[in-house]
Amino acid sequence: MKISDDKISEIKIIRGASCGATWEAINKVIGTSIDDAPVRIGLETQFFCIADPAGWDPIHGKSPVHFAGDVHRAALEKAIRAEINKTSS
């Protein structure tokens, strides 16, 4: 990941959703501020996800689509923190 002027300028996907939602969502996140990007990646992933949204998981209380959005948001937040820590060291 690269950040320029507090915006996402580059992301290298190491592991993504098998349906391709990760790659589609990343295209929508490049150029987004680091404050808005985690929410945006979650929403975009949900939009592009092809999992059945009706398949609610009784343990987590979420559909696979919502779970995918949460996982992508968390991964991007982790990558942003890592990049900020790397550049501030």
Question: Can you give the pLDDT of all 89 residues of the chain as single tens digits?
Answer: 999 999 999 999 999 998 899 999 999 999 999 999 999 999 999 999 888 777 777 777 778 888 899 999 999 999 999 999 987 76
What the block records as the tokens of 77 is 């937040």
In the chain, domain spans: 2-88
What is the phi/psi pair of residue 2, to 5°? -130, 140
pTM for this prediction: 0.86
pLDDT, residue 80, reads: 96
Distance CA 54, CA 47 (A): 14
pLDDT score of 89: 66
Helix (H) or strand (E) holding 9: strand 7-10
**If DSSP codes are grouped into helix, strand and coil, which group holds residue 27?**
helix
Sequence letter at residue 68: A
Residue 32's CB is within 10 A of a number of other CB atoms, namely 16
